[in-house]
Amino acid sequence: AVKDGVDIINLSVGPNSPPTTIRTTFLNPFDAALLSAVKAGVFVAQAGGNGGPFSKTMVSFSPWITSVAAAVDDRRYQNHLTLGNGKILPGIGLS
């Protein structure tokens, strides 16, 4: 990816569990490759985890990677969309 000139690497993958020791956290080929990309000027975003809202489910550890996550809430906002012809379409959105 770096040789192709990308600016951003967006990863929806990562480890399945936290590292067992601090010594081995960043010594795997996956994290080493991402560190090389960051050193080359590529922004790397990685999913924070998919294990749910429980302790130790944040599995994006590398300090050179930006961890990202999403959340779902129980709020439903009614809104509308006004088309160019004046027609109004009601709906429900997140914001």
Q: How confident is the model at residue 95 (pLDDT cuts 50, 70, 90)?
A: very low
pTM over 0.85: no
CA proximity to 79, closest of 71, 91, 69, 67: 91
d(C-alpha 80, C-alpha 95), whole Å: 11
Q: Specify if 17 maps to a domain.
A: yes
Q: Specify if 43 maps to a domain.
A: yes
**62 exposure class (CB count in 10 Å sphere: 0-12, 13-18, 19+):** buried
Q: Specify if 72 maps to a domain.
A: yes
Task: Give the bridge partners for 78, in sequence order.
Answer: 92
Q: Specify if 29 maps to a domain.
A: yes
Q: Specify if 3 maps to a domain.
A: no
Q: Specify if 2 maps to a domain.
A: no
The total number of structural domains in the chain stands at 1
Q: Specify if 36 maps to a domain.
A: yes
Q: Specify if 18 maps to a domain.
A: yes
Which domain range does residue 29 map to? Answer: 8-93
Strands 66-68 and 77-82: what pairing? Answer: unpaired
Give the position of tokens 């960043």. Answer: 26
pLDDT over 70 (residue 27)? no
Which H helix or E strand runs over 28?
Answer: none
Identify the pLDDT of residue 44: 94
The larger pLDDT score, comparing residue 36 to residue 25, is at: 36
Identify the pLDDT of residue 9: 94
Tens digits of residue pLDDT in 57-83: 677 778 888 888 776 666 677 788 888
* Mean of pLDDT values over 77-94: 82
Q: How confident is the model at residue 56 (pLDDT cuts 50, 70, 90)?
A: low
Edge to edge, the sheet with strand 8-11 lists 8-11, 43-47, 66-68
